[in-house]
Amino acid sequence: MSTGSSTSRSCRPRVDEVLADRAVGLAMTVADALGYVGVLAVEMFVVDGDDGPELLVNEIAPRPHNSGHWTLDGSRTDQFTQQVRAGCGLALGDTSMTAGGVAMVNLLGDLWEGGEPDWSTVLAEPRAQLHLYGKRTARPGRKMGHLTVVDDDAGAAEVIALRLRETVRRACRAGVNQARLTPTSRPIPQVTAQATITMRA
């Protein structure tokens, strides 16, 4: 049985407040039914129902999850620290945001098609943080990292994050196309390779 909880409400999908509150309530119900202690990600779909939008639980992840990685840069207590605090029976940390808006975009293996991407544009943006997971092989669709943008305005953070990822993608595609046209270039490597809830006991 949980005696305390902390919900991350800052990176919600674009749904109205009533539906967002229902999603948090549903995630809390799942956590309570499991008697769960720790960080629990509950992925839901919004579908059309007879009486309006309905929520369907698609997946639960009883651990820190990719959907909460934004907390590393955008929350006073990140999901990894929160997991340790919950598991040790400590008071949960403050989950308030460090700014008015946070946007996170995944970096998939497709970006590595022509080798290591050029991260200079991302690293030059002071509001952005680059997180690479150190995976040895990339393949299309594989999560290789993410970038987070923190800004006072949530809309601006999202625009910047998407622009940065697209800039890296375009540079990678241009590099791949250039490498294919340059006979002396090195061979192109073959590419082989949501509500977050924290419950405390």
φ, ψ for residue 157 (rounded to 5)?
-60, -45
Residue 174's alpha-carbon distances to 115, 165, 179, 186, in angstroms, are 12, 14, 8, 15
H-type alpha helices, the chain: 17-34, 71-74, 79-87, 120-124, 154-181
Q: What is the pLDDT of residue 201?
A: 45
Regions in the chain scoring below 50 on pLDDT: 1-10, 12, 177, 179-201
Q: What is the pLDDT of residue 186?
A: 35
> Measured between alpha carbons, how far is 57 from 27 in angstroms, rounded to an integer?
9
Per-residue model confidence (pLDDT) at position 17: 87
Kindly report, residue by residue over 62-102, the tens digit of the pLDDT. Answer: 999 998 999 999 999 999 999 999 999 999 999 999 999 99
The set of residues, in sequence order, having a beta carbon less than 8 Å from that of 126 and lying 6+ positions away, is none
pTM for this predicted structure: 0.74
Structure tokens at 130: 């680059």
Measured distance CA(59)–CA(53) in Å, rounded: 19
The predicted structure's pLDDT at residue 102: 94
